[in-house]
Structures are given as structure tokens and as C-alpha cells.
Structure 1
Amino acid sequence: MMPAGDGPDEKVEILMGTEAETARLLSCKMFPYFTFLAFVELMALSKLKRLRLRANHFNGSLPDKGLCEMKNLRELDLSRNRFNGNIPACLQNLVAIRLLDLSENNLEGTMPPFISNLTSLEYLSLSHNRFDGLISLPSLANHSKLAVFDLLSGNKNFEVETEDFRWIPSVQLKILRISNCTLNKGASAIPSFLSSQYDLRVVDLSNNGLKGTFPSSILDQNKRLEELTLANNFFEGAINLSPHHNYSYMKKLDISVNNIQGELPMNIGMLFPNLESLNAFRNALQGVIPPSIGQMRKLQTLDLSKNNFTGEVPEEIGMGCSFLWILKLSNNNLHGKIFPRQINLPGLALLELDNNHFIGTIGNSLANSSQLISLDVSNNSMSGKIPSWIGKFSTMVSLIMSGNSFEGFIPSSFCNMKDLSFLDLSHNNLSGMVHSCLFVSSLERLHLQGNNFIGFRPNGVSNSSSTHLVSLDVSYNKLSGHIPHWISTFSQLRILLLKGNQFQGSIPDQLCQLNKLRMMDLSHNNLEGLVPACLANISFGTLRDEDIELDIIGWWEMMSLLQTYEYKSKEYSITSHGDLNKQEEVEFVAKYRLEDYKGTVLHYMAGIDLSCNKLSGQVPSEIGALNGIHSLNLSHNLLSGSIPASFSNLEQVESIDLSYNKLSGEIPQELIKLKFLAVFSVSYNNLSGMIPYQNQFATFKETSYENNPLLCGAPLNKSCNSSVHVLLPSSKEDDDKENGGEGSKAFYAVKAIKGIWC
């Protein structure tokens, strides 16, 4: 995020006087305007005092020529570029430097020792680089003017040393950020020098592996503290705050991802009356949510998710926190109804109440929160009809109501949500038709599985403009007829799950036009006919998803809290990204297990499941071209012929299930090349010959091959020297017989067991 004044329309500003006493400024705000000026030409600007080149596209190493000759330089800001390599040693010539900002680059190497000689420094920011080695805070003992020390490391192995019994700190910092480092060789204690700091405004010690109880002394000693970030550590115990203190300057408190226990102070709203952000995500807090939070009149973000809170949501929050725009209470033990009384949250943008015990429906008072962008009430005990007023949220981007007992139809008003990107109504008792108007151009993910839908209205969505659809899951409904051809118009589709419906007819060749598909599940239907050879045209993991994110809802990246701190002539922007990303989750059977694939795992999963249908004919050899696939399941069908030797080209495959078919011939010996294969089943077929028994195939049990009377060799207890005679079915009529008659007993066993699995 770019600070005010750094927009793309900003022009180059060069103010240079002829007198040494005149203030000098060279400021370049955007890359396209600065390509004409080489760094070496800066040598002529020996009297320059302020140089700001932040937020450009500069790359390569930092130039030592020219830059290091500017001995009058007071401020140097090269942040938010792409510089790499080491910090030039000649920067030690800048003895008058007061502000040095090299943050958000790709700089590496050890921290140069000359920084300890730049005693005029007031602001030092080296965050978001790749430094290694060590920096010692006591080495800055003579930096009595230092007010800002900002070091959020991009390398967890980078060491920061703050302890030295000989060091008597003379500095009084305003902003201290030491994050994502190995702090004091992993000592896990709060730096002791903080006991001498009394004027801190911002403290960030996140992600340092710190242990101990909540460090309330930081709050008590620094009366004007505005931000305290202790996230991603191992703090435990209760939050003990002095009842005699009023922390009225505090704007942000982040204790997320720790092990803090006990209850929040019941008077927390009086202790922090001006708090704008409270984040206690993923701790072990319990008890009720203090109603006094409603006294935080300026509160914008409240995240108490993934704790053990009980009781109802205090109505004081809904009435008193009128500036609230992010409210996250998910994964607790909260109960009651959602906002049954009047609320005053006009700016609410994100509401997450999932994984609790809420009942009933959503209170009508939420309808006044017209700016709502994301609503998640999934996995509760809610019931009744989905309120039609939800469709009035024209700004809605993500709506997740899965895992409840909602019934009735999808409100037609949902078609008014033209910005909708993620709609998840799965695992409810919804019925009727799915409105084709839901397929708006912005829609990326539609999850309707586990309901009682019977079709789409009107019949087809061929005129749909939903060109961004990535995931379509309508599994386990009551959809019937042929698989709709219009699905092929979703050219960006990666996940197609139609499992557990009543589709019939053949698999349409039009699905082969979905060349970016990664996961296809058509299992547990009544499909018949051939397996389309054109499935080989689909990438199934071989194409890179450079143009789309499968793992998160990327539009939340713009949802960040920006707070700007003015310090002398520099704008110090501290951006706080909450845990705002929503992970997509889909179910897919692989290795005999129904797995939930979500987050970044979706980038690596690719599979086809056509099991439990009535598909016939031979397995197309072209399937062997799908060398990016991880799971292939064609079991419980009527497939015949041999196993294609081309399957040896499935380089990434981990699971192949061809069981319960009518396959014959030998198992291709070439399959031993499949080095990732963990599950292989060809049971209940009519295969013959020697079983491959090398590499991964040496790990498969007898159950992988059972009820193939003509197979021999390990792991079966049957030598390939013995002769076995089995009567095979002689005609299609024999295959269709349900009782008695001549034929292989193995095939009759298939019919008996197949019903259990399908």
C-alpha cells in the first residue's frame, strides 16, 4: 500500500539551490519518471540533503559511486524497491545521516558494523530484507538521538542481540519493531532494556518465540503507548492489567497466536477507551465476551476467534462500536441468536461467526449494515429460511452459510449481488432450482453440495457471463438428466465436483474443453458409455496457475488497516494485515480416504474420479498423457480390455484404483516406474500373469490384487509355475445375468460388494 502522495500520477520533484545552506530535495515517486537519471550522476549533487526514491522498480545492487559522496545527506529513503546484494560499506561516509530507510528490498549479507558509527541516526529501518548474521542493539549505545528502530526480518535466522550487562541505554525510542528474528540467541525472554524505556509509542515483538506471562509492564511504563504487537509467540497466563491505569493512548493491541488464558478483564472497555484494533485470535481465552467492549467507541477491528468464549454476543458491541468494520468471533462456544435486537454497525464490512452454536436465523437488524462485504455463519445450528434481505447487500463478495439446517429455496434476491465472488451454501436442507442468474461475472467459487437441489433455472446458463468461475461443487444433490453442456463455457474452471447425483447418459465431450481443470469428480452417478479419450486434453495440474489463486480469496488483500505515523519529514506507514484470507475447501477421495483439500494444498492436488458409474469399453491409452495427475479412480464400473502401458507416464500419480471392473490381460511391468505411487488396486477384475514386484509395487498388499484368479507372484501366495483354469463369461448375456448361469464367480462377487461401496 502506497502512502498519500506516492500515487502513479505524482511527478518528479527536484528542488536544488545553489547555496549550501538551502534545503535540498530530490524526490522520485514512481519508476517511469526516473529512468533518465543514472545513480552515478548523483555525484554532482554533493550538497543534497534529502533523497527519497521509495516505491519505484529499482533493482540490482545499491550503487556506491555517487551515493556515498553525498556527505551532506540527512535523509536517505530507498525503501520499497528491489535492490539486492550487500549494503555498501562506503555508506559510512554519510556521517550526518539522520534517517536511513532500506526496508522492503532484497538486501542480504551481514549487517555492516559501520552503522554503530552513524551516531546522528534518528530513524533506522531495515525491515523486510534477507539479512543474516547478527545486529547488536548495544552497539548503538552512542545513538542517543535514535527514536525509531525498525527491523522486521525476512530471515528467521537473522539474530538480534539486545542484552549486554555493560550497556546502560541512553536512548529513548519512540518506535521499536523487532520481529521474526532469533532474538538473543533464542532466550525467549522479553528484552531487559525495555525496562528503561518510558516513551515508546509503537512496540512490535511478534514472531520471536518469546515466552512468559503477558508483559503488562510495557503498557504501565509507557504512558503514551499506541500500539503493542505480541503476535505469534508463546505467552501464557492471564492478562493482568493495573486497575488504576487508563491506557487512553492505546489504539492497537495484538496478542494473537499465543497461549494466553483466563478471561478478558471485564472492564477492558474502560481501560482502553480509544482502542481501534483488538486482536486476540487463537489463544485459550474463556468466559464471556466483556460487554464493556461496547465502550470502545473508536473500535474498528475486533478479532476474538479461535478461543473458548461462551455465552452470547453482547448487544453492547452492536450498539456502541459504531465504527466497527471487522468483527471475527468464529471458532468459539458462543450460542444464542445472531443480533436478535437492534444494532448500529453501519460500516461493518466483515462478519465471521462460523463454528459456534448459534441458532435460529440472522436478525433483521443486520440488514442496516449495508457495507457488508463478507459474511460467514457456517457450521452453526441455524435453521429456517435464508433471509431474502441478504440479497440487498450489493457489495457482498463472500457469503458462507454452509453446515447449518437452512431450508427452502435460494432467495431470488441473491441475483442482485453483482460483486459476489464466493458463495457457499453447502450442507444444508435447501431445495428447488438453482438460479442461473447467480453465475455473475465476478463469481469464482460456487459450493452447493449436500442439499436437495434438483436442477438449474432456466435450463442452462449458456448466456452466463461468469467467466471467472474457478470452483463448482454441486455434489450430493438430486440433480438428474444429462451433465449440462454449458459447464464447458466456464473456461477458467479448476475444480468440478458433480459427485453423488443422478446424472445419466454419457460424459459429454464438451467437458474436455475445460483445459485448466485440476480436479474432476463425476463419481456416484448413473453415467454410461465410454471414458472420453479427450480427457487427455485437460491439464490436470500440468499448467501453472499464474493467473488465479486457488488457495485464498485474493480480494481480501486490499482489506488492511493503514495507520500513518509522522516523524519529522518522513511518513512512517505501518500496515496491519489481519487474518482476513478465506481458504477454499473441497472434498475429494484419494487413497481410499475422503480428504478435505484446502489452502495451498489445492495447488498441488490434481485428480479424476469416475468411480461408481456404469462406464464401459476400454480404458483410453490417452489417459497416460496426464502426467500431472495425483489420483485416478475408475473403480466400480464395467470397463474391459487391458490396463494401458501408457499409465507408466503418470509421473506424479499417488493413487490408481481400477478395482471392480472387467479388465483382463497382464499388469504392465512398466508401471514400476511410478515412484510416487502409494495406493494401487486392481482387485475384482480378470487380470492374469505375473504381478510387478519392484520399487513401489513391492509395498502393496495382497488386497490390491484379490479376486483375480489368474494373477500370480508376490505378494500373492501363488507361484507363477502353477496352472489355474477359470471359466470366463462368454457373452454379454452372461454378464447381465443376476442369478445362476455360467460365469466367473469373481464377477458375481463384484455385484454383491459393489453395492456396499457405491
Structure 2
Amino acid sequence: MTHLNLTKSSFAGNVPSKISHLSKLVSLDLSFNFGMRIETPTLKRIVQNLTHLTELFLDDDMSSVSPNSFMNLSSSLTSLSLFYCELKKRFLDSIFHLLNLQLLNVGNNYNLTGSLPTYNWSTPLKTLKLSRTEFLIDLPNLISNLKSLKELYLRGCNFIGSYPTFLPNLTQITSFALSHNNFGGQFPWSLLNFEVLTYLDLSYNNFIGAIPSWVYTISSLRYLLLDNNQFTGHIGEFQHNSLVFLWLNNNNLHGPFPLSISKLGEPSYLIVSFNNLSGNVESNIFFKLKNLENLLISNNPLLSLSSFTFATNILPKIVSLQLSSSNITEISHFLQTAEYIDHLDLSNNQIKGNIPTWLLEVGTDSLYYLNLSYNLIQGPLPFPPLGISFFSISRNNIIGQISSSICNLSSIEYLDLSYNHLSNMIPPCFGNFSYNLIDLDLQNDNLNGTFPTKFAKGCRLRSLKLNGNQFEGSLPQSLVHCRKLEVLDFGNNKINSTFRRWLETLPELQVLILRSNNFHGALGKPKTKFSFPNLRIIDLSQNEFHGHLPTNLLKYLKAMMNASVNKGELKYMSDDYYQDSMTVTMKGFFIELVKIQSLFTTIDFSKNNFKGEIPGHVPPSLGNLTNLEWLDLSSNKLTSEISIQLVDIKSLAILNLSENYHFGQIPQGKQFNTFKNDSYNGNLGLCGFPMTKACGNDKGPPPPPSTIQEDYLKFENGFHWKVVLLGYGYGFVFGLVLGYLVFSSEKPK
């Protein structure tokens, strides 16, 4: 036997060592048998005995194999592929010196280290793939030594030196991938001389400037991926019909949609979402694109697809159609013949009236994602195809009730019916339904009755949002089965219950909102020091809780105290398909956060009947909050001089200490020179700028204790909380400063 190819054969278990007895093998391919594993002894025998090998493809699990096992590979080897096989440690330098090696692929071995030879390196390599490894790559050295190189894949790599210096030598290159490397600035297009290029991938960098005209003139170009950069200017007109993949999404491109798209021969991907394209897109542009499978034009606010009315024979092979935020006013009839479609997004448009019955039969055997949210759709709740996985019709004008037949959607994982005009009760079957559901959003639907009490063991729910309905009863204790629950929002209902201690045991819970219900009783002490291990947002406001402030509970909120900022990347609470949102109270206003930053923290216990004390002064430790932008301690009974340490908070932009009993001289300098009278109103003992009352030798005594006591009696029960807002450069981080009372033993965060 000279050739053995078992690729993608679904074999499992260890590779038999007897393969090494096939001493005349020239080509061996065991790739992509994801249950198959290669052990070190077997690999060593293959390398030692198969001395005639020219092709070796082992793209399988080699997590236990040392790269040293490849020592003494056959000198006749021309192709070696070890893609995505979990290799670790340092790759053998000697492999780069194999005299006949033309293809080397070790991509996607995330823990594989190594470097390229710096001297005596002469090789006929034509294809080199080092993407997503820990190799140190000196590009000028690489290109100067690889004269025959045609394919170079360096996605997500570690570079040393300057990258533009190697570009003029790439005249013979056919495939070039440099994505996911955080390169920035102007890409040196003028240095390039890509004469036979078929594949260009510069995506996921920070390149700026316009795309040069010569990109549109390369007759051989089939794949162009420039997405997720900051390119500007118009999309040019393509001069040839060779293009198959066009990915330009997530840039700053503007101008009209290119008319030359209609002349392309066999494109399967056209993706221009999240740009600033403008003008009208006529349906006849796509008339000849019989092989187009993926059309993504979403989120170009100035682009209009209002005349997007296809004939029934247009886009017969369409699989993914994403036209969100495209000014569409009706659902195109061409979808009736889209028998292969699996992803349809028509959200954020101007679609009116009832949903046509035929739409709910589209892709009966294939459709798994259907998003009709943020439209003007009317009528009863439609019933999507049984095989649907994601269904959203939120923020429309849907009326009526939720039929129990919705529980027949056995594959549903994401269901969003929020912000409609539904009524009546939730079908009892929703409890067992939770076995498949990951995210359920029924906010602001005017639903009533009791929420289903039976949640199945093994419940997969990650997010359950029922805010703004008329639910009664108590929290279903069977939610304790939902161990993956991160967001639980029962706010603004009529729940009549005490605080349920089993909530503390949910290991992944990050958001707990029970605002504005009929909860009552004391919160009491947590059962263990490990209560709410991941909780960052808790809102129990506007209930009837009483008793002492639960300081022991707050002391254990470790995730809130340890919240940190990753300045390199903003992250939001979400999963693959669903973005979490919530409503918070700030400065007396309800504000909807359409995204929740993962570093957002807040506590709101206001408008209950708690009793106890909070400190009567502003602690100097607030000065340690060096990133504080907004400090509001107004309308309390704070009695102290204003701490001079606050002057050192350079980022402080808003200060409100009004309606307290502060006395003495107002600190001067830095940000304090920008604050006006309304920051201090109602503090009769204060003096100095910006107040009209000047300070003498006597800076003013504190008000008489009797006055303070009288004013305390004006409060019926308890005390009031105010929110402190913290900013970290990439947006706002919200937190309630409880530090001096609750976290006095912890380092301020």
C-alpha cells in the first residue's frame, strides 16, 4: 500500500500502531476523525518506519504528544499538516530545514511555541500556515527566505519587527491572511504588487483609509475579507466576475451599494453590514445571483431597501438573509421559494400589518433563526416553524394570548415576545418547556396570573425576564434547578412573598431584580459565606422589606467588590444570539440599558422599611476612588466637613452634596473650582467659593444636634440611598458606594 486516506471517516479510539508497518506508504491522511487519538509511541513508529512518506496529514488529537516525536521525519516529505491537534511546547526547528517541504500547516495549536530560522534557511515552501499559535514571527526574515511562497496564513500571531517591509516581495502570493492581529493605521497598499491574488484577508485589525482602486481590478480575486476594520470611502465597482466571498462589514464605508454586484458570477457571501452606505437598493441587482447563499446588509441606517420586492425566482439558494435596519416596509414574496433558508433577520424595520401566513411556512425544515423585532406588526401571536431555535417578535403590536401550542416548539432555545400587548396567563407547560430554553423574555406584555411553578431538573435557562407584568403568587422554588441562570428579573409585578434564601445558591446568578412587588419580611442573614458568588446587580427597591440593613449579605458580594476593568475590550452580558438588557433608576429616572457591561455593578434597596444607621459623614476613603466621575450624596443627613481628599479625584465631573448638614470651608482647587452653588444647596454651615458666604477664622460650627434629630423624625422609616456613578473611560460603571459602612475591611474598588 502506498496511499492511505481515512480523513473524515468518523473513526474513534487510538490510532493502531500497525500502521507503521506499511513501510511503502507515500501518503498518509488520518485527519478530522474527531474521536481518534494518536499516542506518542505510535507516532514515533510512524516517523521511524515510514521513510518514503511525502505527505503526512495528522489533523487529529495529539494533546499527549511531544513535538520532539517528529524528529527525523522523512527527508522526502513535501507536505506536513498538524492543524488543530492540540500540540503544545516548542515546535522542532529542524522541520523548517526539510529540503523538499512545500506545505506546512500547524495552525490553531494555541499553545504551540517556536520561531522561524534566522540563518541557513533555504526551503521550497509554497504554503505556510502558522495562524493562532505562539510562534514569534519576523516577517522580513520570513519573506526574504521563502522565495517560492504562494500561500501565507498568519491570523492571530505574535509579530516582532515591522510588517510593511516584507510586502513588496509578495509578487507571487495567491493567498494572504493577516487577520486578528490588531495592526493599525494606514495599510501600505502602495507597496503591494499582488498580480495573481485569489484570497486576501485583513479582517479584525484597525486599518484606516480608503480601499485602493486596484483591489477591484484583480481578475483572479475570489475571496476579499476586509471586515472589522475602520476603512472609509466608497465601495468601488468590481471589474471582473471572479469574486465569491465579499466581507466588508463593520467598517466606516459610505456611499451607494455597488451596482457591479449584479455582474458577479458565482458569489456565495455578500456581507456589508454595519457601515454607512446610503441610497436605494433595487431588487434587480440580485437577479442574476443564482448561487448567492448569504446576503447581509443590516445596519446601514441611510440605506433603503423599501423597493426590495423580489420575483419568486430570485435568490433560490439563499441560506442567510439579514436585512435589519434597512427601512423595509413589507415582507418580500420571494421568500416563499426560499426553501433552504435557515437565518432570517428583518428586525428594526417599518413592516406593518399582519404577518402573511406563508411566511411561517418558509424554511419549514431548515429555518432556525427568525427575528421580526422592532417593527409595526399587528395581529395575534404567530406560530413559527416547529424546528425554530431563535424566535423574536418583541416590540411590535401583537395582541391576544400565548397559546399552549407554543410548547410544541421542541427545539426553541431563545424566545423573546417582550413589549407587546399580550394578555391572560402563561400556559402551564412553560415549566417543562424550560428544559430547552436558554433565554426567555416576556417583559412588558401585560400577562397575569401565577408563573408556572414546575421547572425541570437540568433546566438550561440563562436569562429569565418577566418585568412589567401582573404576575402574582411567589417565586417558583423549582427555579433552583436552573443552575445556569445568570439573569432573573421579576421586577414590577405583584409577587407577594418573602425573600427566598434558595436564590443565594444559584452559582451563576449575576442580575437579580425584584423591584416594585409585594415582597415583605426581613432579609436576614445569608446561610453561608458563599452566597451569591457572582451577583453584581441587585435591585430590591419599592417593596415592603423591613428590619435591619442586611450588611452581612452585602459583605459577601465578592463579584461586586472584585469587579475589574479590561481597558482593552468592552464586554457585555450576552451569548451567541441574545443580548441582555435591563432598566435601572438613575437620578429619579428609569433608564433602559440595551446592553449590560460585564463590569456594571449596582445595589438599590430604596423605598423599603429598613432601619439602622449610615455614617454621618463623608469618609476620606472616597478619595481612593480615583476614577469616580459622578458623586451624589444629596438629601441625606451627613454631618461633617467636606473631605479635602476629594480634591484629588481628577475625573470628578459632577458633585451633589446638597440638602445635608456639611459645615466649614469648601475645598478649593482642581475639579472643585468647576462646581456651582447647586452642588452645596441646603448646607447652611458651608462657606467659601462658590457660596456667597465668606469664611472667617471661624469656619462655622456644625448645626445643633437637636436640629438634626428633629429632621430625622421627618423620615417615616429607615433611610434613603443615592447612586454613585463611576466611569472607566470606555463607558460608565455604576456602583453604590457602601464602602465605609459595609466594606470597611476591604480595599476600595
The reply on whether 1:589 has 2:585 as its aligned counterpart is: yes
Number of the residue aligned with 2:598: 603
Range moving further from structure 2, 683-692 or 330-339? 683-692
Determine if contact 1:269/1:292 at 8 Å carries over to the other structure: no
Separation in structure 2 between the aligned mates of residue 401 and residue 545 of structure 1, nearest angstrom: 34
Number of the residue aligned with 2:99: 71
Alignment of 1:61-100 (within 5 A): 63-64=92-93, 66-82=94-110, 83=112, 87-90=116-119, 92-94=121-123, 96-100=124-128
Q: SS of the counterpart of 1:67?
A: helix
- Structure 1 residue 550 displacement after superposition: 7.8
Determine if contact 1:134/1:158 at 8 Å carries over to the other structure: no
Number of the residue aligned with 1:140: 170
- Structure 1 residue 358 displacement after superposition: 1.6
- Structure 1 residue 337 displacement after superposition: 2.4
- For 1:584, give the aligned amino acid: D
- For 2:449, give the aligned amino acid: G
Range moving further from structure 2, 498-507 or 705-714? 705-714
The reply on whether 1:445 has 2:463 as its aligned counterpart is: yes
Number of the residue aligned with 2:727: none
Determine if contact 1:492/1:516 at 8 Å carries over to the other structure: yes
- For 1:390, give the aligned amino acid: I
- Structure 1 residue 375 displacement after superposition: 1.5
The reply on whether 1:42 has 2:42 as its aligned counterpart is: no
Determine if contact 1:87/1:112 at 8 Å carries over to the other structure: no
- For 1:239, give the aligned amino acid: F
The reply on whether 1:479 has 2:495 as its aligned counterpart is: yes
Separation in structure 2 between the aligned mates of residue 102 and residue 611 of structure 1, nearest angstrom: 56
Alignment of 1:260-275 (within 5 A): 260-275=277-292
More strand by share: 1
Alignment of 1:376-391 (within 5 A): 376-391=392-407
Separation in structure 2 between the aligned mates of residue 607 and residue 481 of structure 1, nearest angstrom: 23
Q: SS of the counterpart of 1:333?
A: coil
Alignment of 1:111-510 (within 5 A): 111-115=139-143, 118-131=146-159, 132-134=162-164, 137-141=167-171, 143=172, 146-157=173-184, 161-163=188-190, 171-180=195-204, 188-192=210-214, 194-195=216-217, 197-207=218-228, 209-218=230-239, 220-222=240-242, 225-241=243-259, 245=263, 247=264, 249-283=266-300, 284-286=302-304, 287-292=306-311, 295-309=314-328, 311-317=329-335, 319-341=336-358, 343-346=361-364, 347-364=366-383, 366=384, 369-415=385-431, 416-437=433-454, 441-456=459-474, 460-461=476-477, 464-510=480-526
Q: SS of the counterpart of 1:488?
A: helix
Determine if contact 2:177/2:201 at 8 Å carries over to the other structure: yes
Separation in structure 1 between the aligned mates of residue 636 and residue 50 of structure 2, nearest angstrom: 91
Q: Indicate the RMSD between aligned Cα atoms, in angstroms.
A: 4.0
Separation in structure 2 between the aligned mates of residue 730 and residue 266 of structure 1, nearest angstrom: 73
Number of the residue aligned with 1:53: 82
TM-score scaled by length of structure 1: 0.77
Q: State the percentage of identical aligned residues.
A: 26
Separation in structure 2 between the aligned mates of residue 525 and residue 606 of structure 1, nearest angstrom: 21
- Structure 1 residue 327 displacement after superposition: 0.9
- Structure 1 residue 451 displacement after superposition: 2.0
TM-score scaled by length of structure 2: 0.78
The reply on whether 1:617 has 2:623 as its aligned counterpart is: no
- Structure 1 residue 238 displacement after superposition: 3.2
- For 1:285, give the aligned amino acid: L
Separation in structure 2 between the aligned mates of residue 357 and residue 119 of structure 1, nearest angstrom: 60
Rate the CA distance shift 1:230–1:671 in 2: closer, same or farther, 3 A: closer
Separation in structure 1 between the aligned mates of residue 397 and residue 689 of structure 2, nearest angstrom: 52
Determine if contact 1:157/1:181 at 8 Å carries over to the other structure: yes
Range moving further from structure 2, 354-363 or 296-305? 354-363
- Structure 1 residue 301 displacement after superposition: 0.8
Please list the CA deviations of residues 373-404 of structure 1 after superposition, one character each: whole Å capped at 9, or x if unmatched. 11222222222223433222222222122222
- Structure 1 residue 586 displacement after superposition: 1.8
Rate the CA distance shift 1:685–1:270 in 2: closer, same or farther, 3 A: same
Range moving further from structure 2, 481-490 or 425-434? 481-490
Separation in structure 1 between the aligned mates of residue 506 and residue 90 of structure 2, nearest angstrom: 45
The reply on whether 1:531 has 2:549 as its aligned counterpart is: yes
- For 1:88, give the aligned amino acid: P
Determine if contact 2:573/2:580 at 8 Å carries over to the other structure: yes
Please list the CA deviations of residues 574-633 of structure 1 after superposition, one character each: whole Å capped at 9, or x if unmatched. xxxxxxx4321122234666444454x5222212122233322112x7xxxxxxxxxxxx
Separation in structure 1 between the aligned mates of residue 296 and residue 549 of structure 2, nearest angstrom: 52
Rate the CA distance shift 1:334–1:452 in 2: closer, same or farther, 3 A: same
Rate the CA distance shift 1:177–1:660 in 2: closer, same or farther, 3 A: closer
Gaps of 5+ in 1: 557-580, 622-640, 732-742
Determine if contact 1:188/1:209 at 8 Å carries over to the other structure: no
Determine if contact 1:644/1:668 at 8 Å carries over to the other structure: yes
Please list the CA deviations of residues 545-588 of structure 1 after superposition, one character each: whole Å capped at 9, or x if unmatched. 99xx982433x2xxxxxxxxxxxxxxxxxxxxxxxx43211222
Gaps of 5+ in 2: 1-6, 9-30, 724-749
Determine if contact 2:455/2:481 at 8 Å carries over to the other structure: no
Q: How many residues align?
A: 669
Range moving further from structure 2, 12-21 or 292-301? 12-21
